[in-house]
């Protein structure tokens, strides 16, 4: 079997200007965005294709997909895939050719998902909030503590997103996903270990959200909220920008809420102490940019020994 790291090696050799030249003319409305997107393709999408991991490919596409139109996203990603495919044919590398074909199927599904999302933006946000409110109230009938935590995480997550100046649709997704991210905890009472609890409740929450058509687009966010920035998380071992930004924000919000409210495993921490613990975990457990936004929101200054 041919090793998939050939695609990773290719990503460091390809001249992005050559790829840029193959992007259709309609993409050049924002050459700055095109250059940035191509860099993301070379640094993240190509290795994701080489990994053969569908979740990694899908989340990388979602991370890249910030452009005035989805046609621009499609054009740039198609150009990058064409470049990989051309190199694979030149090298007579059937495994790489197969990996690109598989990735294109996933990419097509993600682009379709993003188009559906743009159509959903015409739906009044209050209707989606009412739907989520209803589910959280049902959770409260079974476990009031979980329901209160869901509300707290959703509220903090959307405030962090606001500090990061995210768009209104992104903020709505963060709010809704934050209020649903741990709904799967209701189904894991009999799990054998902490690891099983984490994996099982993530999958249960993902499946629940998928079952609600108006909220199904939140499923990848919910699935990834226990991923770690350093790749040591679960269930897919995603790393860095492969993790949806909304998931990275929810992870920090959830950690802060857990620290200040306490649990059976530890006593509640004061907000400053909770901020210190989150700051220390930047770039390992958490996205450093999300941590910085959170500390700014909470007016916490991480002091060194020199400044203390």
Phi and psi at 284, nearest 5°, equal: -110, -75
Q: What is the pLDDT of residue 225?
A: 96
Residues of the chain with CATH 1.10.3210.10: 125-297
Predicted confidence (pLDDT) per residue in 65-85, tens digit:
766 567 778 888 888 888 888
Length of the chain equals 308
**Contact at 8 Å (CB) between 166 and 174?**
yes
Helix ranges restricted to H, 5-120: 5-13, 16-21, 31-40, 46-51, 54-64, 70-90, 94-120
Quote the distance between the C-alpha of residue 12 and its chain's center.
24
Q: What share of the chain is helix, strand, coil (3-state, %, to 5)?
A: 75, 0, 25
Q: Is the pLDDT of residue 191 over 60?
A: no
* For the ranges 117-131, 185-199, 266-280, the one whose mean pLDDT is highest: 266-280
Decide: 28 and 34 in contact? Cβ < 8 Å: yes
What are the two backbone dihedrals, phi and then psi, of residue 205, each rounded to the nearest 5 degrees? -65, -40
Domain 125-297: which topology? Hypothetical protein af1432 (1.10.3210)
Q: Which two tokens stand for residue 61?
A: 């596409």
Candidate from 91-95, 174-178, 280-284 with smallest mean pLDDT:
91-95
pLDDT in tens, 109-142: 998 888 877 776 656 788 899 999 999 999 999 9
Instruction: Give per-residue pLDDT as tens, 142-188.
Output: 999 999 999 999 999 999 999 999 999 899 999 999 999 999 998 87
Question: Of the candidates 96, 70, 74, 73, which has an alpha carbon nearest to the alpha carbon of residue 85?
Answer: 96
pLDDT range class, residue 302, cuts 50, 70, 90: low
Distances in whole angstroms, Cα of residue 79 to Cα of each of 22, 31, 38, 51, 94: 6, 14, 9, 19, 20
């Amino acid at each position: 079997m041919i090793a998939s790291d050939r695609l990773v090696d290719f990503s460091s050799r390809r001249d992005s200007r050559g790829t840029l030249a193959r992007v259709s003319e309609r993409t050049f409305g924002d050459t700055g965005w095109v250059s940035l997107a191509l860099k993301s393709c070379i640094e993240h999408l190509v290795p994701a294709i080489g990994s053969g991991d569908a979740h990694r490919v899908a989340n990388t596409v979602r991370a890249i997909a910030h452009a005035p139109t989805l046609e621009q996203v499609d054009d740039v990603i198609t150009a990058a895939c064409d470049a990989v495919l051309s190199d694979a044919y030149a090298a007579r590398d059937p495994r790489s050719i197969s990996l690109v074909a598989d990735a294109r199927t996933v990419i097509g599904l993600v682009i379709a998902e993003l188009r559906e999302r743009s159509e959903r933006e015409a739906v009044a946000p209050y209707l989606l909030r009412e739907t989520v409110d209803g589910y959280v109230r049902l959770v409260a009938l079974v476990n009031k503590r979980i329901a209160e935590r869901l509300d707290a995480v959703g509220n903090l997550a959307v405030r962090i997103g606001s500090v990061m100046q995210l768009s209104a649709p992104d903020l709505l997704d963060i709010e809704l996903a934050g209020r649903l991210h741990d709904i799967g905890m209701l189904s894991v009472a009999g799990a054998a270990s902490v690891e099983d609890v984490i994996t099982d409740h993530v999958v249960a929450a993902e499946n629940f959200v998928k079952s609600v058509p108006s909220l199904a687009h939140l499923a990848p966010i919910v699935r990834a909220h226990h991923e770690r920035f350093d790749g040591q998380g679960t269930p897919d071992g995603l790393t860095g920008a492969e993790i949806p930004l909304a998931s990275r924000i929810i992870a920090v919000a959830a950690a802060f809420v857990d620290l200040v409210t306490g649990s059976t495993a530890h006593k509640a921490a004061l907000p400053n102490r909770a901020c210190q613990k989150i700051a220390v975990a930047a770039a390992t457990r958490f996205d450093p940019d999300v941590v910085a936004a959170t500390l700014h929101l909470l007016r916490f200054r991480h002091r060194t020994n020199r400044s203390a």
